[in-house]
Amino acid sequence: MDNRNYDFGLVGLGVMGRNFILNVADNNFKAFGYDLDPEKVEALKTEGGDLDKVSASTEIRTFVDSLTLPRKIMLLVPAGKIVDQAIESLLPYLDKEDIIIDGGNSFFTDTDRREAYLKEKGIHFFGSGVSGGAEGARKGPSIMPGGDKAAYEHVRPIFEAVSAKYKGEPCVAYLGPKSAGNYVKMVHNGIEYAMMQLTSEIYDLLKKSCDLSNEALHQVYSKWNEGRLQSFLVEITAEIFTQKDELTAADLVDMILDKAKQKGTGKWTSQNAMDLGIPVPTIDMAVSMREISALKDERVQADKLYSRPEVTDKPKEELIAQAEQALYFSFIIAYAQGLHQLMYASKDYGYDLDMATIAKIWRAGCIIRAGLLADIAEAYTADNSIPNLLLSPSFVPKVQGTLPAVREVVAYAAQNGIPVPGLSSALSYFDAYTSTKLPLNLIQAQRDHFGSHTYERTDREGIFHTEWGGKQ
């Protein structure tokens, strides 16, 4: 009997995978899941209810034989060797022209390798970033596919149906060849690192300088979320301050240890930006701060060795207003750095990315969704060749209006010993990027002095070297 009547297959039925496949079924596509864990298979069957629309198995042949041709199989498993293992387990049962989609956070060069490997076997493969967490997977994520465009067309109706919608527009679009999808998702996560760090720094500043209660902080972030800072991260931050701890009478946020973990995508963004020669210091600092946070014991020891200034009084409402401007400014800088990296990666790796399209599919469903992205999409729609968002005429007044407050907040934090490395790096990046002249002429002189590395001149073309120390 031919059971080949399921439109979409999914490997990996953890919370993310289970929610995604249920989303597919909700949108009237028949979906079949596969996992080695019987409990996860049964959980999907129980949640799915209508087994004519969604089912699952622990048997790989049953899974593969249930799918319509060409098979469309998505992997939602941890990045790394597990992806390769999943591919190898599927290969004996696949036919030529079948499609495998990696929906995890794979490193982009791994995606390029897998695409080339499977192409030799007649199997289509592409990477597709998925953002929005478990809730997004269930209700509508932002999806970032890249790779084989013809293969994507087979999946496009499903992805457009399950994705988040912004004013009716699906938050998914084909982004480019090869590993474009995974690369865009990697940089998305780098921006996410920066925005989370910046949000936490402003929280720390307000708590230490104004002694705001968690309820007061909830009110502040809730109000901000109703204005130009409207975003998923500001929204959930406001919500976090209201959560009570089930084990004590305290607010939960005060009981959580200040050691942040990471899965590597932020680090990959920083490392690759250095390879490209593109500065993303606010993303770099967000990664570094997670590493510093992990040194809890050393931080406690160091805190006992050094004095810290007493926090000086500052009118509460004034500081809150300045903090809002500082967070808005630094969010713009985080997006600018990430998009700048994407612009140059597009050229180096042949992705041919459309920056307006990327901003549009980030407007809903993903972790970095924000009202600001509508403005960013408009800026790149007007001129998709802008190398950096700071060069967009529409963003000049947005940034310019915040600068006095940003400078005052950074100075106040420094004078009072409150660390704001993300915000400080954002301001320093802005000041450097918008400076006609930087002191790097001295660095070039130093390099030539100790290593004969040569230099260029301001008054004529060419490469020059000097015998330093008065020698001619």
Please report where in the chains the tokens 């909830």 appear, as a residue.
218
Sort strands 54-57 and 169-170 into parallel, antiparallel or unpaired: unpaired
Q: What is the dihedral of CA 446, 450, 452, 457, to 10 degrees?
A: 10
Q: Are 80 and 52 in contact (CB under 8 A)?
A: no
Torsion angles phi and psi, residue 100, rounded to 5: -115, 135
461 is catalytic: no
For residue 55, what is the enclosing H or E element? strand 54-57
* Cβ-Cβ contacts under 8 Å for 438 (sequence gap 6 or more): 432
185 is catalytic: yes
- Which of 219, 97, 81, 333 is CA-nearest to residue 89? 81
Measuring CA to CA, how many Å separate 158 from each of 72, 73, 182, 288, 300? 10, 12, 19, 39, 51
Angle at 198 between CA 193 and CA 204, to 5 degrees: 125
Q: Which of 40, 72, 185, 267 is catalytic?
A: 185
CA 148/CA 150 separation, integer angstroms = 6
3 state SS for 409-427: HHHHHHHCCCCCHHHHHHH
CA 270/CA 276 separation, integer angstroms = 10
Q: Which of 40, 72, 115, 192 is catalytic?
A: 192
In 10 A of CB 468, how many CB atoms? Answer: 12
Q: Where are the alpha helices (DSSP H) in 92-172?
A: 108-119, 133-139, 149-162
Q: Where in the sequence numbering do the catalytic residues fall?
A: 185, 192
